[in-house]
Structure 1
Amino acid sequence: MKINIIIFVICFCRNVRSDQESIQRYCGIVSDNGDCDEYKMQYFYHPEFGTCSPFWYSGCGGNKNRFETFTECESTCINPHGKAVCDLPKVRGPCTENHMKFYYDIDKKKCLQFSYGGCKGNANKFDKINDCRQVCMKNDESESEITHGAGSDDVKSKNNLNIPDNCTDNSQFASCSDVIRRGHCRHPYYAKFCCRSCALDKLVR
């Protein structure tokens, strides 16, 4: 009996997570007024500007980028709780500044860099790649690994971020004074520590 209860709880939690993912993914599509003629005011998330806006919904059809209230739209598509932020689309926002941020790409299952305009947008926006990974890839074994060509000093991670020889000059990576064994270099956990040791075969025990 206890086993059945545990299985039910696990399945229920997975279904809730799956439903939440699908809801966040609808935030990236354009609004649809629907097919009927019983119009009422609803709200949709505008992915280009990163805001929730009112629109007239016809009463049937349409899509799931549609909410009864502004608060519901905002809590779903701008500032959802927990890991749900990782399912939101990348949004540059309407402003014209260029701030390098990181977002989680749900299709590629990794954190990528993008240029944030400086206003609006949503919560899928991190100052550092490790912040993005901590929230969105904590239990994901596909986290970035260090790769390099034979005899090359040019090092890149699988998410195409350049890794400098001296990691202490880049706040995204920890100090390379931590020497680790070569066999550990491809492990996701060590990728942020061993860029110089593994790539250049220096200081490797």
Structure 2
Amino acid sequence: MRRGFIAASAIVTFILILSTAVRAAEVTVVDGDTIRIDGTTFRLHGIDAPEAGQTCRDASGGTWRCGDEATRRLEYFIGDAVPNCDDRGLDDYDRVISVCTVGGIELNRAMVSEGYAWAFRRYSEDYAADEEIAADKGVQIWQAANQAPWDYRAAKWEVATQESPDGCPIKGNISENGHIYHAPWSPWYARTKISIDKGEYWFCSEREALDAGWRAPMWGH
């Protein structure tokens, strides 16, 4: 009887250890087109979601926080799973360009099909047809005429370069979250103050900030 109890306990312990090992991967949704898995950042191939601080118009003439909603939708698709992401090389910011799937759902396509992201046709036509269907249905970002995220970023950058030292608008902030840089389209940009005396910096590009050891903020920080 005692021997059987010990054997059963050993099996339970083994299962618990195995379960912990299987779910060891840490998954964070950075925004509507970016995921971080165990410290590696994956940028969803062929799509561009609204920025975290971006708002969109709706069918009634009001506005909604499309950037936040896109992030929440990607979180919903992922749930407690660990996405399976392929490797299509690195972009200019050291993110792995990927097509990611969860339970048979291709995240890239789902985000475009449901109207939470644009097809990033500058780099790929893979999701152009899905975008056209979503636009015809008038779902989410297609409820009204809305600014594409690449135009949103460009507009924010142009204004910030005119107001920042030496035309370098990226804020390298040091906080309890570490060394975080904020581009002009970051929702925390306006309230982030830079103190050179504390070792904080103004950067001229995201690449410069990354090379100096700063990282982009994550949604919720």
TM (norm. structure 2) is 0.24
Higher strand share: 2
Of Structure 1 and Structure 2, which has the larger fraction of its residues in helix?
Answer: 2
- TM (norm. structure 1) is 0.25
